[in-house]
């Protein structure tokens, strides 16, 4: 696996050399590229389906038919295959660290000891819940409603046992250089409020299984009246869920920016001692906060007082057990899998223990692992070459902004100014996070996990009162993903995504532009989606559209949301067009930016035909193949209710129905199923 991953990075270098030609910051003409391999596995095609009718099925249908989702996975696809390779690479790193931990206090020692402790099943079984007893004893001290603030703060600092809201420190959206305390709704152990409120038979069954799981955990921990506690916990969480905003509303950056003094915060929930909570949570210096859902805080106040302290103790006890289940004896971890794995995701068997251990280590010391990952697998030259391709896509976006027919000069100037201020981060941080203050003791797994959570929390609150550290990353180098950060106005591409199928050494430029080019374009487009566009080039939340242009923009985004809302992947559950709007804009606009960059890279010449496919056709096939995926029904239901991304199958073809070059590439006609009338096609960026 390590050799294959290393080869992947070399592949990235060659592919980048092909597409970038050493030029950063501008598009340029060059000679037509040499004829290379197709770069797409035609064995994955379903030849019985015309590309004009269902491009996702055409490009990936045979793969879907012959591929079985691994028993320990909820989904499987291109991203998952690459993540599996990254996970195997990290496994080698942590195994080596466990065998040869090196100097005491070093990152290698901490990584190795943490992983070795997790794999020491005999010791875990012998200790039982004893290592968790200090937290359970602290919860038992909760006697009155007045004790809630201290109890919630204690849980907040240790992870997993806080109350019906959470606090965090992050960049102030209207002053992006400064950090501020944020307050967010929370407190649920099911994936979303809908899991408590929907009356469909499936959700009724899920709630029944959930109470069974609570009962099982409380029984294993020898807590009194487990079944009664489960019923009371479900009732409490349901009352909280009824007051929460839905996810689509909670992604509205204007609606969720409510800056107020701590005194005003106190007025929202007069029964809760906010100053005590903030002080105990390490945020006592805060004089102002940003409340994301103020009416939720107001509505939850009666719940705080009407719920008996005994029920709050049960609730916090269960949340503590639930958050620690994977580091407790097998009966706890099995119970957690049976509910969260089998019931909610449809898994057939748990993940191998080493994979869970790798995930635990990455969660605790992600950048420390990432530093070793980069040292072992990543070739430094890839950063410069990836940078060249990113800047080619940015240049393509500049061209797009100047050609928009719905945008006036004033807004256009602001959009170009924002694009000019982009920060690009590639592969890994310039400075890795330090873990010197994190204590890892061999033989103390639960204690290590609690200290790791406390370390991460203290690291977060330590940012309060300091300028935003814009050098920090929100993902580790070994993560197969990418992101846009609005307050930093940055796009970020971790090292692990710089491998096939996103880069392919044997593919021509078309496939690489359709794959990684579309990913780059997607992340760039987030700066201009329905929420990202609310920030300026400095990352500050402010209006920079003219009223006329905003109206035109919103008409387009509404049309796109309605398109996706027409699809029903699971009977009774449609894609939530408002929840997924930002990602859908990213897909549509990302394809356009990548395609434009690809065509300009040809220098006015046509790409050669390879295996009967034109360059444009290969571009779209390269795009579709990164979205090949299968998902269990349970996981698909979860995604539709909770995830701002549309399912991969739909990402592979829906944006193409709005994109004119796709129609030309495959001669799509009005009688074809992929056809959308020109007047109904959405073009945003």
Catalytic site residue 587?
yes
Phi, psi of 383 (to 5 degrees): -60, -45
Q: In 3-state terms, what secondary structure has residue 415?
A: helix
Give the other-Cβ count within 10 Å of 73's Cβ: 21
CA atoms within a 13 Å half-sphere pointing along the CA-CB vector of 356: 20
Relative to beta strand 175-185, strand 288-291 is parallel
Among 457, 513, 517, residue whose Cα is nearest residue 482: 517
Among 96, 685, 678, 79, residue whose Cα is nearest residue 361: 96
Sheet holding 288-291, edge to edge: 165-172, 175-185, 288-291, 259-261
Q: In 3-state terms, what secondary structure has residue 429?
A: coil
The first and second tokens of residue 401, run together, are 């902004």
Query: Which residues pair with residue 427 across a beta bridge?
Result: 494
Sign of CA dihedral 215, 217, 222, 224: negative
Q: What is the dihedral of CA 487, 497, 63, 632, to 10 degrees?
A: -50
Among 115, 335, 393, residue whose Cα is nearest residue 219: 335
Which helix H or strand E contains 77, and what residues bound it? Answer: strand 75-77
Catalytic residue (choose from 46, 113, 490, 523): 523
Decide: 320 and 155 in contact? Cβ < 8 Å: yes
The first and second tokens of residue 21, run together, are 């030609």
Q: In 3-state terms, what secondary structure has residue 378?
A: coil
Q: Which residues contact 340 (CB under 8 A, 6 or more apart)?
A: none
Catalytic site residue 523?
yes
- Give counts: helices (H), strands (E), the chain: 29, 9
Decide: 614 and 41 in contact? Cβ < 8 Å: no
The distance from CA 463 to its chain's CA centroid, rounded to whole angstroms, is: 23
Residue 379: Cβ-neighbour burial (10 angstroms; 0-12, 13-18, 19+): middle
Residue found under tokens 């807590």: 223
Catalytic residue (choose from 326, 509, 587, 643): 587
Residue found under tokens 């009005």: 670
CA distance 163 to 315: 9
668-673's contacts with Cβ under 8 Å and 24+ in sequence apart are 668/52, 669/52, 672/50, 672/52, 672/53, 673/52, 673/53, 673/54
Residue 604 gets the label, from left (phi > 0), alpha (psi -120 to 50) or beta, of: left
Catalytic residue numbers read: 523, 587
């Amino acid at each position: 696996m390590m050799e294959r991953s290393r080869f992947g990075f070399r592949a990235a270098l060659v592919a980048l050399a092909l597409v970038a030609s050493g030029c950063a910051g501008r598009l340029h003409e060059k000679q037509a590229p040499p004829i290379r391999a197709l770069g797409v596995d035609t064995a994955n095609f379903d030849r019985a389906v015309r590309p004009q009718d269902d491009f996702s099925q055409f490009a990936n249908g045979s793969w879907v038919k012959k591929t079985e989702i691994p028993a320990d996975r909820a989904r499987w696809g291109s991203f998952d295959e690459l993540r599996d390779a990254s996970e195997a690479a990290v496994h080698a790193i942590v195994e080596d660290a466990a065998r040869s931990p090196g100097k005491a206090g070093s990152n290698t020692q901490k990584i190795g000891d943490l992983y070795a402790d997790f794999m020491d099943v005999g010791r875990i079984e012998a200790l039982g819940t004893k290592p968790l007893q200090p937290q359970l004893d602290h919860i038992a001290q909760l006697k009155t409603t007045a004790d809630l603030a201290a109890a919630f703060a204690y849980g907040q600092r240790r992870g997993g046992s806080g109350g019906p809201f959470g606090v965090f420190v992050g960049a102030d959206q209207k002053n992006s250089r400064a950090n501020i305390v944020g307050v967010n709704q929370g407190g649920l152990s099911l994936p979303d409020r809908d899991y408590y409120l929907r009356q469909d038979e499936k959700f009724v069954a899920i709630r029944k299984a959930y109470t069974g799981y609570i009962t099982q955990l409380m029984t294993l921990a020898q807590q009194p009246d487990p079944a009664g506690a489960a019923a009371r916990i479900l009732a409490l969480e349901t009352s909280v869920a009824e007051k929460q905003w839905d996810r689509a509303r909670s992604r509205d950056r204007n609606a969720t920016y409510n800056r107020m003094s701590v005194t005003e915060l106190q007025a929202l929930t007069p029964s809760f001692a906010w100053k005590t909570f903030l002080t105990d949570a390490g945020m006592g210096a805060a004089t102002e906060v940003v409340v994301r859902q103020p009416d939720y805080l107001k509505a939850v106040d009666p719940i705080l007082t009407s719920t008996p302290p005994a029920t709050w103790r049960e609730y916090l006890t269960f949340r503590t057990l639930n958050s620690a289940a994977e580091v407790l004896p097998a009966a706890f971890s099995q119970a957690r899998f049976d509910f969260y794995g089998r019931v909610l995701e449809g898994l057939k068997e748990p993940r191998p223990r080493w994979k869970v251990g790798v995930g635990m280590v990455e969660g605790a010391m992600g950048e420390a692992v990432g530093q070793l990952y980069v040292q072992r697998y990543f070739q430094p030259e890839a950063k410069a070459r990836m940078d060249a391709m990113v800047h080619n896509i940015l240049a393509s976006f500049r061209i797009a902004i100047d050609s928009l027919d719905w945008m006036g000069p004033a807004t256009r100037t602001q959009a170009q100014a924002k694009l000019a201020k982009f920060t690009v981060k590639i592969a890994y941080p310039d400075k890795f996070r330090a873990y010197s203050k994190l204590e890892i003791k061999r033989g103390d797994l639960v204690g290590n996990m609690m200290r790791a959570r406390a370390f991460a929390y203290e690291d977060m609150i330590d940012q309060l009162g300091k300028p935003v550290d814009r050098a920090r990353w929100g993902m580790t180098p070994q993560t197969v993903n990418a992101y846009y950060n609005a307050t930093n106005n940055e796009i970020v591409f971790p090292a692990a995504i710089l491998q096939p199928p996103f880069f392919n050494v044997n593919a021509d430029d078309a496939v690489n532009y359709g794959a990684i080019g579309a990913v780059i374009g997607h992340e760039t487009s987030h700066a201009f989606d329905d929420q990202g566009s609310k920030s300026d080039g400095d990352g500050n939340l402010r209006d920079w559209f003219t009223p006329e242009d905003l109206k035109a923009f919103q008409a387009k985004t509404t049309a796109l949301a309605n398109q996706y809302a027409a699809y029903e992947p699971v009977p009774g559950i449609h894609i939530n067009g408002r929840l997924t709007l930002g990602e859908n804009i990213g897909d549509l606009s990302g394809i356009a930016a990548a395609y434009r960059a690809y065509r300009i890279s040809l220098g006015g010449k046509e790409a050669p035909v390879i295996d009967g496919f034109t360059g444009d056709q290969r571009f779209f096939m390269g795009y579709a193949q990164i979205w090949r995926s299968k998902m269990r029904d349970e996981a698909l239901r979860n995604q539709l209710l909770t995830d701002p991304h549309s399912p991969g199958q739909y990402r592979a073809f829906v944006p193409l129905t709005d994109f004119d070059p796709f129609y030309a590439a495959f001669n799509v006609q009005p009688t074809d199923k992929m056809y959308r009338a020109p007047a109904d096609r959405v073009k945003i960026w």
